[in-house]
Copies of this chain bind each other. A is one copy, B any other.
Amino acid sequence: MKIVALAGGVGGSRLADGLARILPAGDLTVIVNTGDDFEHLGLHISPDLDTVCYTLAGIENLDKGWGRRDDTFNFLANLQRIGGPHWFSLGDRDLATHIERTRLLSEGKFLHQITKDFCIAWGIKQIVLPMSNDPVRTMVITDIDGMLPFQEYFVHRNCRPKVKGFRFDGGEIACPAPGVLEALAHSDAVVICPSNPWVSIDPILFMSGLKSSLAQKMVIAVSPIIAGNTIKGPAAKMYFELGIQPSALAVAHHYKNIISGFILDSLDKSLSPQIAVPVMATDIVMNSQEKRLRLAQDVLNFIQTL
């Protein structure tokens, strides 16, 4: 069964990792959001792509949800001492990824090729694709701070400004990266991982050709919201500020035109009757390797029942 997973950061990478531990390597393709990529210190940083790769390679930082395991922060300490912009934490090991990616991009290599080469170096056997080689930049429209680039909103301002909406600059002309539409076309099912629908999954779906290529597919989504809140990240806060009660129901509604099945947490089981597609209720918190694996198995079992 060939699976394509659409993923953002932590939640997406953990479900992708669970799937990777069950499926034959060639049967899983992970398409990763690049809408929150940004330029910082002259470097091209792809936070979601790195989180997915580090997680699949087993070298991710489990506590922080970003960066490398056992990393040091000596670069950042000196950067701060000499007055550089140190609001975005970059570990020493992690930094090599950004510097080498930037160097290769400046040589004319494409992001999907660089990602492939990094995956080989890190021993990742699954296919990881950036959603696009073209720049797509998620902008957060806020109440008093105006339009903010995503990392400015997310990291620098710690999600404090109230959200009024989103814009995916470049998204309307960005081409899906080579392999993205092909992987979708050849897939048996598409899994929308429990990532932020607004800023991790929507930028992927926004690209030309994406939604239409999902039209004939079995698509199931896993809720990133449990009992009205998120494990991590601002998804629930965003729903609330946009005037929508944050819930698994709101997520199912978010994806209503594309999904053929929906997975929510057992705590939200009572919402199932209000969702128009088949629903599976299970434990969707992935706070251990074992639970990643179990949710992935539930996802695959659910797909087979549809």
Interface of A toward B, CB cutoff 8 Å: 41-43, 68, 71-72, 74-79, 81-84, 91-97, 99-100, 102-103, 106, 117-118, 121-122
Contact = CB atoms under 8 A, between A and B. Distances in A.
A95 B93 contact: no
A41 B82 contact: no
Contacts of A84: 96, 99-100, 103
Nearest to A104: B84
A74 B92 contact: yes
A251 B76 CA distance: 42
A75 B103 contact: no
Q: Which of A92, A94, A121 has the most CB of B within 10 A?
A: A92
A83 B41 contact: no
Given A41-B99, A74-B74, A75-B93, 14 more contacts: A42-B42, A42-B102, A42-B103, A72-B74, A72-B92, A74-B93, A75-B99, A78-B95, A82-B122, A83-B121, A84-B96, A84-B99, A84-B100, A84-B103
* From A41, A94, A117, A122, residue with most partner B Cβ within 10 Å: A41
A103 B72 contact: no
A97 B93 CA distance: 17
A198 to B, nearest CB: 31
18 contacts: A41-B103, A42-B99, A42-B102, A42-B103, A71-B74, A74-B93, A75-B92, A75-B95, A76-B96, A77-B96, A78-B95, A79-B96, A81-B121, A82-B97, A82-B100, A82-B117, A82-B121, A84-B103
Q: Provide the main secondary structure of the chain A interface.
A: helix
Contacts of A100: 41, 79, 82-84
A298 B66 CA distance: 55
B122 A81 contact: yes
A117 B83 CA distance: 9
B121 A99 contact: no
Contacts of A75: 75, 92-93, 95-96, 99
Contacts of A81: 96, 121-122
A102 B84 CA distance: 11
Output the residue of A96, A97, A100 with the most chain B CB within 10 A: A96
A144 to B, nearest CB: 28
A96 B82 contact: yes
Nearest to A80: B96
Contacts of A97: 78, 82
A82 B77 CA distance: 24
A84 B104 CA distance: 9
A189 B42 CA distance: 41
A-B pairs with lowest CB-CB distance, top 3: A78-B96, A92-B92, A74-B92
